[in-house]
Amino acid sequence: MLCLTMPTIVMLSLIGGTKLVTSSGDATVRIWDFSKGGCILTLEGHSCAVWDCSWHSCGDFVASASMDKTSKVWDLNRYGHCFAVYCSQYSACRFDVMVF
């Protein structure tokens, strides 16, 4: 499987006007805080390039989709703990509002 190793930003997602999540060709997802002037958290766990990322509307969770055929959900309140992994041929991810 081809894995990109360069730290090229693939996707950007902004929340709250001060924070940004980026996915990258180096298999990481990074949380950036403009008010602090840089990266505040690096999420590691994918084995290949991460093609997409998305914030949950509450700002506490990030979803990522990778070329390693997994999608992960990260809990930012637990320092980026990955609590869900889905295996398939994912190329994009988005959080949807669920109404019960």
Distances 41 to 34, 45, 60, 88, 99 between C-alpha atoms, Å: 13, 13, 13, 26, 31
pLDDT of residue 69: 87
Q: Residue 40 is part of which domain span?
A: 9-87
Q: Is residue 71 part of a domain?
A: yes
Q: In what order do the strands lie in the sheet with 70-75?
A: 50-55, 61-66, 70-75, 81-87
- pLDDT tens track for 46-70: 999 998 888 888 888 999 989 888 8
| Mean pLDDT rounded to a whole number for the chain | 79
Domain assignment present for residue 100? The answer is no
Question: Structurally, how many domains does the chain consist of?
Answer: 1
Please check whether residue 2 lies inside any domain of the structure.
no
In-domain check, residue 97: no
Q: What is the mean pLDDT of residues 93-100?
A: 52
- Residue 22 domain-assigned (yes or no): yes
3-class DSSP assignment, residue 30: strand
d(Cα 35, Cα 50) in Å, to the nearest integer?
Answer: 25
Q: Which CATH number does the domain housing residue 77 bear?
A: 2.40.10
In a domain, 94, yes or no: no
Candidate from 24-28, 34-38, 60-64, 92-96 with smallest mean pLDDT? 92-96
